[in-house]
Structure 1
Amino acid sequence: MSGMSDPFSFNAGAVESSYVGNLGEAFRRFGEQDDEVLLVSPDLGAGPVTGAFVQQFPDRFIDAGIAECNAMSMAAGLSTYGYKVFVLQMGAFGALKCAEQIRTDIAFAQVPVRILSAWSGLAMGFFGTTHHALEDIAITRSIPGLTVLAPADDNAASAMLEASEQVYGPVFIRLTDANVNPVYSEPPKVTVGRFGTVREGRDGTIIGTGLGAQLAAGAADLLAEEGLAIRVLDAYSLKPLDEAAIVAAARETGTLLTVEEHLVTGGLGSAVGEVLARNALATRFGIHGLPDETLTVGMPDELYAHYGLTIEATAARMRALVCDPR
């Protein structure tokens, strides 16, 4: 843990969520427009994501206590009575601890529960490895009948609320807390099953999700200064995946790099690799993410630097793929 700050001496007040603004206000407006919207959460309702909703509609908020699995089952039951139920969960527990409830009570039954999985990835890394949320993409994308979305930033997150209305069944929305390089200046148009094109280019493609999309856009800008035109795709729809965009990028640019704040096993990189294999596409391909090991403890920015989840490290990885693909 050399070079990391003392995880027991951090100032909790200094850890600000990037979702204080647009997403929190968008969720409040969502509740204002539809009095069937309910929020269930295990001791998280007053936080930045849903605090404005809870303050305005306290009678439509159910605090399940620190009982994440119960919150999921409760939401599933309420949704069968016609309510539009949202569950706010901490990323480390929302998918890993509640996998059975998500699969059996929610996805199997195809009830329209929307799961807001906040503080994903390394956002809560200062609490220790128990609070790393690094397996959730792998878990959720393997559950039949579950749509998985992952906005790149706050503006994209507010758009995901509207996008979730396109889906009949349950939706898992993986929220990144990172604010390294925001991708969108306003809520983008979002279509479930599609990727967003953030940069055009034909020298290679970086496909990022969540923080990875922020890093991809920044890396492409750095590489543009070197004369490389890199396409950037925002993989906000992880399931269903935009297979057509992946195939087109492989054929048109010849090099693909995926970037994600998730383990390199089972996440976006694995999903893209499956598409390449299904379509028998021979292309230069790399996965930039977190190693398949127990990670160390620290503040998010320290962990990003330690594990290479930075714009500079992403650019270096892409440069190596394009210029020296051995």
Structure 2
Amino acid sequence: MAEMIATRQAYGDALVELGEKNKDIVVLDADLSKSTTTAKFGKKFPDRFFNMGVAEANMVNTAAGLATCGKIAFVSSFSIFATGRTWEQIRNTVCYSGLNVKIVATHSGVSVGPDGASHQCIEDISLMKTIPTMTVIEPCDAFETRKSILAAVDYKGPVYIRLGRAAVPVITKKEDPYTIGKANILRTGKDVAIVACGALVANALTASDILSKDGIEATVVNMHTIKPIDQDVVVSVAKQGNAVVTAEQHVLDGGLGSAVASVLSRNYPVPVEMIGIDNRFGQSGEPDILFKEYHLQPEDIVLAARRAIGRKRK
């Protein structure tokens, strides 16, 4: 049984680790520091922590100002507030100027659970991906979250990192390589490729196990960086299996699936099936029930893989 750790918990620990090494790290939060776990940094380094209250747009502009003074600013809130309320400030103040601001949003996707549609941000990847100069990352587990936070410090310019509320399985290892913009291939197979991000990577691995029992071998790709997407890996795995499935906890419009389909349409067209949220809002419920309702389970990925394989040219 894999260890279960919330990616937001790993974020708070990584911030403290960074704060001890780099005096230019500053952290801003919008009155949700206990939930986002930035409170860990605030307790350890109160002079470099700023609770901006329920004023997210002001928080982003303040972070931009600190970045112009040489600071590396981490900005956090729930993803619905960190991207929805602040889109104009992120676009015009942070990204237009290419400032070194890292927006790390928690409580993304329907796995937020009982808080319901108003707090389940399922559009944030699309919102951030469309802004020029923005880098978009969704780590799959706690180890990868730590690596993404540490990597973001040395990565010049704006970065958006998408984290969840609920605990997720730890499926990577501390020693696994991690580079922003470079996907990790977790398994290889000749019949179909499953490209997933975030919490859906674990489900993709389970789906691969189910398919293998029926003699179908699937490649599983952990596409932790959605922008810039690793085009070389996308094309390579498509050529290997000639069928692709994408899996994400996000609306299908503008998310990982759209990015993969765009790469393949230009470079190597093959059948693509997408697992994600199809033109619906979230709703209140436990995460496992919502994953079933929105067809985000391993069994749904298995069915999508069979459909993609069935669409291969005869």
- 1:244, CA displacement in angstroms? 0.7
Alignment match, 2:16: 28
Alignment match, 2:163: 175
- 1:324, CA displacement in angstroms? 6.3
Work out whether residues 5 and 142 of structure 2, in 8 Å CA contact, stay in contact via their aligned partners in 1.
no
Whether 2:233 is the aligned partner of 1:241: answer: no
Alignment match, 2:275: 288
Whether 2:76 is the aligned partner of 1:121: answer: no
Alignment match, 1:306: 293
Cα 1:267–1:152 shift into 2, 3 Å? same
- 1:319 aligned to which of 306, 309, 314: 306
- 2:173 aligned to which of 163, 166, 185: 185
- 1:231 is paired with a residue whose SS is strand
CA distance in 2, matches of 1:263, 1:48: 23
Work out whether residues 42 and 68 of structure 1, in 8 Å CA contact, stay in contact via their aligned partners in 2.
yes
- 1:96 aligned to which of 72, 76, 84: 84
The letter for the 1-side match of 2:281 is T
CA distance in 1, matches of 2:34, 2:122: 25
Alignment match, 2:55: 67
Alignment match, 1:6: none
Counting matched residue pairs gives: 310
Alignment match, 1:145: 133
Q: Runs of 5+ in structure 2 lacking a partner?
A: none
Work out whether residues 111 and 290 of structure 2, in 8 Å CA contact, stay in contact via their aligned partners in 1.
no
Cα 1:117–1:20 shift into 2, 3 Å? closer
The root-mean-square deviation of aligned C-alpha atoms, in Å, is 1.9
Alignment match, 2:97: 109
CA distance in 1, matches of 2:8, 2:119: 21
The letter for the 1-side match of 2:216 is L
CA distance in 1, matches of 2:106, 2:5: 9
CA distance in 2, matches of 1:30, 1:246: 32
Whether 2:47 is the aligned partner of 1:47: answer: no
TM-score when scaled to structure 1? 0.90
Cα 1:73–1:21 shift into 2, 3 Å? closer
Alignment match, 2:218: 230
Alignment match, 1:158: 146
Query: Percent identity of the aligned residues?
Result: 31
CA distance in 2, matches of 1:192, 1:20: 19
Alignment match, 1:12: none
1:51-107 residue CA offsets vs partner (Å, 9 max, x unmatched):
321111112110010111111111111111111110012111111221111111100
1:233-267 residue CA offsets vs partner (Å, 9 max, x unmatched):
11111111101111111111111000000001110
Work out whether residues 159 and 187 of structure 1, in 8 Å CA contact, stay in contact via their aligned partners in 2.
no
- 2:118 is paired with a residue whose SS is helix
Of the structure 1 ranges 118-127 and 84-93, higher mean CA displacement relative to structure 2 is found in 118-127
Cα 1:25–1:266 shift into 2, 3 Å? same
Cα 1:258–1:116 shift into 2, 3 Å? same
The letter for the 2-side match of 1:50 is T
CA distance in 2, matches of 1:242, 1:296: 33
- 1:213 aligned to which of 181, 190, 201: 201
Q: Runs of 5+ in structure 1 lacking a partner?
A: 1-15
The letter for the 1-side match of 2:73 is V
- 1:192, CA displacement in angstroms? 1.5
Work out whether residues 255 and 285 of structure 1, in 8 Å CA contact, stay in contact via their aligned partners in 2.
yes
The letter for the 1-side match of 2:51 is D
- 2:91 is paired with a residue whose SS is helix
CA distance in 2, matches of 1:145, 1:59: 30
Work out whether residues 183 and 221 of structure 2, in 8 Å CA contact, stay in contact via their aligned partners in 1.
yes
- 2:111 is paired with a residue whose SS is coil
Cα 1:165–1:189 shift into 2, 3 Å? farther
TM-score when scaled to structure 2? 0.93
The letter for the 2-side match of 1:320 is R
- 1:272 aligned to which of 260, 277, 285: 260
